[in-house]
Structures are given as C-alpha cells and as structure tokens.
Chain A
Amino acid sequence: MPIIQIILFGFALTTEVKDTQVAVLAPTNDEVSTRIIEKLNASAYFHVVEKIHNTTDIQLVFRDAKAKLVVVFEDHFSEKLHHTGKAHIQLIADATDPNAATSFTFYASNIIASYQQELMADSKNPYQIIPEVKMLYNPQMVGAFNFVPGVLGMILILICAMMTSIAIVREKEMGTMEILLVSPMKPIYIILSKITPYFVLSCVNFTTTILLSVFVLKVPIVGSLASLIVVSLLYIFLSLSVGLLVSTLTDSQQAAMLISGMGFMIPVMMLSGMIFPIENMPVALQWLSNIVPARWYISAVKAIMIEGLGITSVLKEVAIMILMIVVLITISLKKFKIRLE
C-alpha cells in the first residue's frame, strides 16, 4: 500500500506548471504576433489550444475550462510595434488556482520578454548585466525531490499511528485487558511490547519506500544513509507512540481509528510543510505546526537526503523528536489505567 502511494505521488505530484492550455486572441494575424504565439507553443509550459476572435469569447473559454490563460494582442500589433515603438499584450489568467495563475503569467511574460530581447539584439545595448543562475541541490527542479520526503513523512506517521492506535483499545474491547492487568507486568513493559511488532513492520515499510524512491523515482540520498536511517527509526518510534497515546485515551476501536486516520490526516498534510511552506503561515499556525511530528522529520529528511548535510545539522530536529517521544510515552503511562472501572 505505501509502495503504490509513494510511486504514484512521487511521479504525479508536482507544483510546476506544464502544458497549460492557452487561447489566443489576435485580431490581426501578423508576423510578430505569430512569432510570439509560436514561441509560447514551443515552450514546455504552454500549449496553444484555441484561437478566439472576439473578447466575449474569453469568458466562454474560461467557463468551459478550455484554457487557463488567454493572450490578447491589440489590433494591428505588428504595425504599432514597428511604427510607434509600442504595442500591448494582455495576459488574462484564470485565477481560480492563484498559485498556478501567478506562475504561468510569469512564464508567459518571460517568454515575451525574451522575444523582446531578440528584437533588441539589433540595436546594440553595451551596458548589460548578465545574471548567472544556479539551482542548488535540485538543478532540474524535479517535483519529486520536494514531495518524496513529504509523502514519506506523511505515510509513515499515519500508518504507524493507525496500527498502534487500536492496540490497547482492542484489548479493552475484547476483555483481554483484564488478564494483562492482573499479571505482574509493569505498564511500561506492556506499552513497549505493544510497540515492538509494529516497529518491525514499519521498518520493513520504510525500507521499501526508500528503495523505491531511490531506484524508481531517482531521488538521490546525497547525505549519509546511516543518519537517514537513525532519524527515520526515531520518527517511526515517535509515530507509534502517537498511536499509543490515542489508544490509551479512547475506549472504542472505532473512535481510535477515526481519530488517528481521519483526524490526523489533514493536520499532517497541511501543517507539516509538505505542501505549503510553513514560513508563509500566520504566526499562530506556525506555532501549531511545531507540534506536528512530521514537520520535523520532513525537514530533517530534506536536509540529509537532498542537501546532503550531516547529522550534526539536524540536531535540533532530532532533539525535538526525542523530546516528543518522552512526553508521549509519559502521558500514555500516566493515562494507562491499571484498574478496571
């Protein structure tokens, strides 16, 4: 199950803009506008699907979801450009998805600007600033580099928590809890032995996902494998303790499952920094995100796996995770009722 998920998501999830459908409104079909349209179409970002002929069609194109961007050239574009030296292009974007809208208008303006540069090349500009650009850690800007650590963090915590969350509550429901309670076992042993089988299972889980992301998704492990494993084992243990806490607090399997499966899903997705950058959130939510274990794990995995930093640079994350484990286990122990009601 996690295997299918990591492959699917690793390939499919990307926030890059590719193949955006574009409609063009060019009242006069002239040389310059055709060149620009060709240029847009040739780039990986855009795909010109439709030519429309009047402004009322713009609304229709958007409503029927045929295109997300409409490029509007003014009348006699080429003529105006050459004679008056100025011509207008309007980019109208469907901003129902604001993020995509900003990115593709940006790309479109860039393409037009590069055409402009070609025009300028004729008239010499001696004073140029040449920017040299380097994309660190992820030169091709592959979406998987960002999403694999995120999906890994999300899947591990949800599955681990769901598995352990019913561990104790099931014994309560089945009535076998009484047997455990009258036995001379200390609560800490009961709790630890509950975790162990799931821990082994999760490790297998983790190994397969990592192998897949390296060999199938081609996400490299730049840093040391050992530190990645250490951090991950810690995280698995943490996730299991989260489930265990849920288990000691609830009294039916149903509630335990719903809390750990459904209740955790949205916070983990939204507040872990997996999809939405934490820096952009309101301060209150940034605080809240501190208690989401996945946040720390994801940031540690990104540092180790992709940036290739050593374990020393993720000490903060490791310390926080250890702290969380201690707190969670202590609460579970405190809440663990040795007596029947």
Chain B
Amino acid sequence: MLKFLLKKEFKQFLRNSFLPKMIFIFPLNVLLIFPWAASYEIKNLNLSVIDNDHSTYSQQLIQKVISSNYFKLTDVSPNYRQALKSIEKNQSDIILEIPAQFEKELVNGQGGKVMISANAVNGMKGGIGMTYLSGIIVAFNKQVVDELMPSGAGVNSTPTILVDSQYRFNQNLNYRVFMVPALMVMLLTMMCGFLPAISIVFEKQLGTMEQINVSPVPRFTFILAKLIPFWLIGFIVISIGFIIAWAVYGLIPAGHFSSLYMFAAIYILGISGLGLVVSNYASTLQQAMFTIFFFMMLFIMLSGLYTPIDSMPEWAKWIAAFNPLKHFMFVMRSIYLKGSNPIQLMNDLLALIGFAVFFNSWAVMSYRKKN
C-alpha cells in the first residue's frame, strides 16, 4: 500500500513544473547570497565633529578618533544644530562635540568636557558607537596625563588591572560562520514547512482527495506517504547546504556529520508534521499558506537566529522553549562550531523527538475521511 502511495506522491511532485526546480534553486540562492548580508559588525561609524576649541589637544583627540578603525569623519559642523541635521539626513551616526575652553579646563585640572551624542534609533549601534568613542577618549586621557605629569608620580603607582579577551570557537568573530548553519536551518524549515502545508490542501482543491478518501488507505499510511517525500527533500536541501558551506565558506562541522543528519532527520519529521496538521484543517490553499506563514514567522523570529534568546523577556523564553526551530538552530550551531555530541545535546534531542511525535500523531488524528 505504502509503495503505491509513495509512487503517487513522487509522480505528483515530479510532474509539477515548479516544485522540483525550487528545491535546488531556492537553497542555492539563499546560501550563496544572504550570508554576506548578515553582519552586525559595527565598523565605519560615520562621525560628525564640532570643534569649538581649535586647540592642540582637541585636534589630537579628533585625530586619535579618526585614526581608529571604527570611525569615519563625514561631517564637520560649526554648531550642534548643523551636526544634528547631518544625523537626520543619515550622513552621520554619532556626534563628538568639543566645547570652547576644553584645553584650558583640562590643563587647569577642572576637567575638560566633551559631549557625545549618538543616534540610538538602533539602540545597539548607538550603544556600541558610544562605547568605542568613550574608550578612545579614556585612552587619550591617559596619554594626556602621561604628558602632563612628571614621570612616575602618582599615576604609575596605582594598581592596574589588565584585561585581555579571547573568543572561543570563532576566533575571528566571523559572522558568516554563525549565519550559515542558521540559514540552513531556516531553509529546511521553510521547505519542509510550507510544502507539506499545501500538499493535502492542494489535493482537496484538485478533487483527488476524494479518491483517496474512498480508497481503503489507513490514515497512518496516508500521512506516512505524505511525510516521506518531504523527508527526502529535506535531506537533499541539507546536503546542498553542507556542500555550499564547505565549498564557498570553508566551513566544516567540528562535530560529526552523522549527528547532524540524525538531528536533521528528526527535525524534518517534526516540522513537516506541523505542515500536514495545518493542511488537514485548511480548506483552501490561501488559508493553509497564511496559517503556516504565521507559524514560520513566529518560529524564525523567536529562534535566536537574529536576536539572542537570553535577552528576551521571561515569557518569550518560554515560548521559545516550545519552538522546534530554536532547538534545532542551537544544535546546528553547537555541532558546527563547538563540536558537541548528541549526549551533550540530550535536552534538545528529546525536545525534537517530542515535537516529531506530537505533530505527527496530531496529523494522523486530524485527518478525516469524511467531510
């Protein structure tokens, strides 16, 4: 029975003019183009400078800021209002204002003031820009102190804590290394989520569903026959992903391929199960698409793909815990970058198995032969 149903599924799939092309073109496009777009790295912040002091120190400070790698001087304004204009026009991201008397007050020991105003619409960008700039000012401050103070007096005797940082698993902080596994997950989710969601409903619209309904096919076999093709598609997609990751981005998983495939196999079952559930309930293609689209967006946005889960409020973390995508994303990144093994990822493994069982039994239960 299953054999014939599978034969039918594959024929249906291959006769479609659009789907077979899509499972190759879509992953290729996504993986070749989008990892390059994904970078939060804040470099080349555009700086606007207002120097009201025109003194040696203010010039030195500005020089020091520009010669760092982070800032690019794009605007020199005579006053704050002008500088603000340049922010409004998006010509600059951050303003450094040095008031008149800066050098005088600094040398007199009254404390030289500088003003930093950052565009914080994008809070993170503003925050990082501000931190970089303050860091440079502190360094400059030290330099000034060294210059002005007779050597050895005071400052050198204060205890200093030296901090050095080390980045594990991704020394060069390469964002693509982080994004490529995640994009593979996203691809898999979309292919194996959208396609099943329209598969049963498509038959309903074509009218072929009635033929299945009058046949003696058991519910379980029917769902299984629907699942297996997507399972295979998923494997094709993820293998394309592995090849591209290796050939284009030079990325080889630190862990085992076998564990990657194992997790993928379970994950695909789960997400396709969800698709089939949606497809069972929907009566038109449009309904099915909108429903699955809603879930996909939730899953993708709350998966930690773009924004860290740790920063989310408590309730969102709870939702994320019930998000299969989150678990699989975590697994992929851990295996690819840290070389974790399935035992260390036991929680996620169990969660994924749980989702697969849950959605697929639901799919079997919700399939009704009667209208």
By a beta-carbon cutoff of 8 Å, the part of chain A in contact with chain B is 1, 4-5, 8-9, 11-21, 62-65, 68, 81-82, 85-103, 105-106, 108-110, 112-113, 115-116, 119-120, 122-139, 141-143, 145-146, 155, 158-159, 162-163, 166, 252-255, 257-258, 261-263, 265-267, 269-271, 275-277, 279-282, 285, 288-289, 299, 302-303, 306-307, 309, 313
Contacts and interface: CB of A to CB of B under 8 A. Distances in A.
A252 B194 contact: no
A116 B165 contact: no
B313 A261 contact: no
Given A15-B306, A91-B166, A112-B161, 9 more contacts: A12-B307, A63-B340, A100-B308, A101-B173, A131-B113, A133-B130, A135-B127, A262-B194, A307-B121
Interface string B25-59: 01000100110111111111000000000000000
Interface stretch (B139-147, B214-222, B362-370): B139-147
A257 to B, nearest CB: 5
Given A64-B344, A123-B157, A142-B123, A95 B169 contact: yes
Contacts of A20: 310
Contact of B311 (A17, A62, A128): A17
Counting chain B CB atoms within 10 Å of each CB, the highest count among A9, A12, A14, A137 belongs to A12
Contacts of A141: 120, 123-124, 126-127
29 contacts: A12-B312, A12-B319, A13-B312, A15-B40, A15-B308, A19-B310, A65-B334, A85-B158, A90-B163, A92-B168, A93-B165, A95-B169, A96-B178, A100-B308, A106-B128, A119-B159, A125-B145, A127-B149, A141-B127, A146-B123, A158-B293, A162-B290, A166-B286, A254-B19, A266-B190, A276-B38, A277-B42, A280-B42, A289-B37
Given A96-B338, A255-B18, A270-B37, A143 B123 contact: yes
Contacts of B4: none
A5 B296 CA distance: 11
Contact of B111 (A19, A108, A130, A158): A130
A190 B302 CA distance: 40
A28 B338 CA distance: 29
A129 B140 contact: yes
Contact of A137 (B120, B145, B163): B120
Nearest to A78: B159
B60 to A, nearest CB: 11
B264 interface: no
B119 interface: yes
A40 B91 CA distance: 36
Contact of A106 (B119, B131, B205, B307): B131
B293 A135 contact: no
Contact of A136 (B114, B120, B164, B301): B120
A277 B40 contact: yes
Contacts of A262: 26, 190, 194
Contacts of B79: none
Interface residues of B, number: 113
B121 A145 contact: yes
B289 A257 contact: yes
B202 interface: yes
A303 B121 CA distance: 9
B10 interface: no
Contacts of B308: 15, 17, 97, 100
A15 B312 CA distance: 9
A270 B34 contact: yes
Contacts of B276: none
A62 B307 contact: no
A303 B119 CA distance: 11
B26 A98 contact: no
A220 B158 CA distance: 47
Nearest to B94: A136
Contacts of A64: 344
Given A19-B310, A112-B163, A123-B155, A166 B285 contact: yes
Contacts of A289: 37
Interface of B: 16, 18-19, 22, 26, 30, 33-34, 36-44, 61, 84, 87-90, 106-107, 109, 111-128, 130-131, 133-134, 137-138, 140-141, 144-145, 148-149, 154-171, 173-175, 177-178, 186, 190, 194, 198, 202, 205, 285-286, 289-290, 293-294, 296-298, 300-302, 306-308, 310-313, 316, 319, 330, 333-334, 337-338, 340, 344
Contact of A95 (B130, B170, B289): B170
Nearest to A47: B310
A255 B137 CA distance: 57
A4 B200 CA distance: 27
Counting chain B CB atoms within 10 Å of each CB, the highest count among A17, A90, A262 belongs to A262
A86 B123 CA distance: 35
Contact of B171 (A95, A137, A146): A95
B119 A254 contact: no
Contacts of A266: 30, 34, 186, 190
A281 B44 CA distance: 12
Contacts of B174: 98
B281 to A, nearest CB: 15
B316 A129 contact: no
A127 B142 CA distance: 9
B160 to A, nearest CB: 6
B40 A99 contact: yes
A89 B39 CA distance: 29
A261 B189 CA distance: 13
A126 B149 CA distance: 9
A75 B131 CA distance: 30
B163 A276 contact: no
A109 B290 contact: no
Given A89-B163, A254-B202, A276-B37, A12 B316 contact: yes
A267 B37 CA distance: 10
Contacts of B114: 129-132
Nearest 6 CB-CB pairings of A with B = A141-B123, A12-B316, A95-B167, A126-B109, A98-B173, A135-B120
Contacts of B337: 96
